[in-house]
Amino acid sequence: MEWLDFSKYENSDSKFSAELSNKGGYVTFSNSGKGGDKKYFTLSLESFLVCLKDITNNHSSFLGHENYVEKEWRDLGSQYYTDAAANAQCTVQTKPMFTTLSKIIMWANSPNYDTNNPEANIILEKNALQNAITKLEDLSNIFSPKTQLEKSTTLQENIAYKEKSIREFAKYIFTYFYGNDWLELINSTKQNPSVINGVNFISHDYEVFKRLIGEFSSIQSKTSLTSSNTIRYFDEPIFTNNNKYYYFTTQWNGDGDYSLSFSNLKTYFERKFPQYLIKRKDGFYYLIRLKDIPKVRFDNDSFIKNLEISGLAYSNMLITRFNSSLLTKPFVILTGLSGSGKTKLAQAFVQWICQDESQYRIIPVGADWTNREPLLGYPNALKPEEYVKPDSGVLDLIIQANNQPDLPHFLILDEMNLSHVERYFADFLSVMESKEEIPLYAEGTVENGVPAKLKVPSNLFIIGTVNIDETTNMFSPKVLDRANTIEFRVTQNEMKNFLSNIKDINMDALTGKGAGMAGSFLEMAASKEFATTDIAEINAALIQFFGELKKTGAEFGYRSATEILRLINQLTVLDDTLTINQKIDIAIIQKLLPKLHGSRRKLCPVLETLGSFCITGEVKIIKDVYEKTDFDINGANVLYPLSLEKITRMYRGAIDNGFASFAEA
């Protein structure tokens, strides 16, 4: 395979550079840097390939334009380039695009056109174009993920623009999306009379962006646009109309709750143009065009296989329980042994199914969380027009989830019970059932892009991890009632296998592998179907447990009964090899037992009866099971081994300590 190499078409006099990027199928190219520092841009090989095909398909329109004339090539690209990212680039970076396309054609036909000057001329002969298309297709195929029926393709981000300066980035973003429609944008702004250095002008507010554009009746200079030693607007107008000159603001902030902030830029444009992402990483700002990902049905086995490849070891049953629980209700609590992989499983799943890291947040809960402010922020009492967003990014995550309903979003609350959940999480607990919106501030008082009321959308999934020790707090029944609680334990055999096969964990092996299944995952989560097969057996087991749990005040209500039936249905969908007893067992340990706690006197009689429900035959539950350390929990006469093992541990804990609860260290 011949790699894309433009080095022989460039020399010390070349103003425009281009090279194949180190990772992914992209070309990074530059402008001339005439106005200051060079700016670099990135387009995928596929985008350039589509441009070559567009030129070929409209060959008669391009013939005669072999020599570079900026207006001609800007108009040709705008009219004929069907790739959205390339089309936008050609209108603002016309010559860099022209030069790079010319180099690609020269590379594909080398040495025939090696003496051509790519910054001034482009080869448009049909055979030369076809050679370029063929060679670029071969090269781009190397970077294309292989698609398999059981797996989704990995997301390939098409980076349209990359910039270190927030002000340059913001100007580019507005030009990218509104460069051909500045007048339409300006006509929809709020106009305010203003003065700078004694010059009257009109300041334009657009949506949440205050003083976005300055309108002047004459051409301005850098000096006239500067006040207090700070230039307020770029000194080149972005648009002129009827002897009016429009200048774009420089007053952008990368951080903070300002009107002209990266946060508002991201929120506004991702909501208005959902096929794009705006992100910040490693000191750079990126505009990314999302490619369509082939939609694949959600496959539990695919996630299990990818976990094995990454080096993470979980039982297949645990993964099935976790995924079924998320699909049943978007609130799952992971409890159990410290260091058993609770947070790592949550992280692995979100990394696997998400297209972009902006779709999830992993938030360590603080011991000082006494209200909702660490999650939702608060109105600024000193500046009523501002709403202070939390540093955690949770509010931005929820706003993004509302703007991108076709993508799942995840909030992972690590060490969820370090503070009282009922205090900082009360709003979420309420709207989970009511489906109402969370009020953030009085309507009409805030102007920095935060909505007055916040909807917690159905595509937001919340996963809490829990450890139990003297520094943590217990959950109330109303929290446990709203979640599926999954306990993590490590068996002796699992530890033996781990010690004999320790290996590094490669989380990168999971990134984006399940992104194509995200749509199917959301569709399955939206299903309200109940279990109908074996319903009589399911109902009988539930009624039996209800009667005994009622004696300790731990009985379940209509909501839990409904969610149990949905859980059993989702288990059936994900793994049709599970028996009805296995599914009932999972429902019992995740939805019925977590609320059990109390003294030995209160619990032991109930635990004795509950244990007897989990086993068949003539068995003395205390003597033959609870007090027998070598009892085979997976014996043929055990109906519900997960539940029986947990009940046994709780019984022994109550006897030894005088008290027991489901949650334990």
CA 462 to chain centroid, in Å, comes to: 13
What pLDDT score does 433 carry?
Answer: 87
Distance of alpha carbon 277 from alpha carbon 419, whole angstroms = 34
Band (pLDDT 50/70/90 cuts) for residue 204 is: very high
Nearest to 188 by CA among 208, 207, 175, 169: 207
Alpha helices in 277-315 (DSSP H): 300-310
Using the predicted structure, report yes or no on whether residue 12 has a pLDDT greater than 60: no
C-alpha distances out from residue 447 to 204, 297, 391, 400, Å: 15, 42, 19, 18
Using the predicted structure, report yes or no on whether residue 376 has a pLDDT greater than 80: yes
What pLDDT score does 611 carry?
Answer: 94
Which of 88-92, 116-120, 638-642 comes out lowest in average pLDDT?
A: 88-92
E-assigned strands of 68-167? 158-163
Phi, psi of 452 (to 5 degrees): -70, -35
What pLDDT score does 150 carry?
Answer: 33
Distance of alpha carbon 522 from alpha carbon 404, whole angstroms = 12
What pLDDT score does 293 carry?
Answer: 65
Query: What DSSP designation does 478 have?
Result: H
Q: What is the 3-state secondary structure (H, E, C) of 521-534?
A: HHHHHHCCCCCCCC
C-alpha distances out from residue 158 to 152, 161, 259, 289, 291, Å: 18, 9, 28, 5, 7
Distance of alpha carbon 90 from alpha carbon 71, whole angstroms = 10
Provide the CATH topology of domain 300-525: Rossmann fold (3.40.50)
pLDDT in tens, 604-629: 999 999 999 999 988 899 999 999 98
pLDDT in tens, 511-542: 888 988 999 999 999 988 887 788 999 999 99
Determine the residue type at 26: Y
What pLDDT score does 22 carry?
Answer: 44
Report which of residues 20 and 347 the model is more confident about: 347
Distance of alpha carbon 451 from alpha carbon 437, whole angstroms = 11
What pLDDT score does 14 carry?
Answer: 67
pLDDT in tens, 550-599: 988 888 899 999 999 999 999 999 999 999 999 999 999 999 999 899 99
Phi, psi of 219 (to 5 degrees): -65, 135
Question: To the nearest whole percent, how much of the chain has pLDDT over 90?
Answer: 61
Band (pLDDT 50/70/90 cuts) for residue 449 is: confident
Predicted TM-score (pTM) of this structure = 0.66
C-alpha distances out from residue 307 to 215, 302, 412, 429, 636, Å: 57, 9, 19, 31, 31
- Which tokens hold the place of 319? 């993964």
What pLDDT score does 151 carry?
Answer: 35
Using the predicted structure, report yes or no on whether residue 289 has a pLDDT greater than 50: yes
DSSP β-ladder status, 239-241 and 244-248: antiparallel
User: Per-domain residue ranges for the chain?
Assistant: 7-142, 166-278, 300-525, 535-661
C-alpha distances out from residue 271 to 252, 275, 288, 397, Å: 20, 9, 14, 12
Distance of alpha carbon 185 from alpha carbon 614, whole angstroms = 68
Which of 192-201, 452-461, 462-471, 586-595 comes out lowest in average pLDDT?
A: 462-471
What pLDDT score does 240 carry?
Answer: 93
Using the predicted structure, report yes or no on whether residue 202 has a pLDDT greater than 60: yes
pLDDT in tens, 132-173: 998 888 887 766 543 333 333 334 457 888 898 999 999 999
Check: CB of residue 447 under 8 Å from CB of residue 208: yes
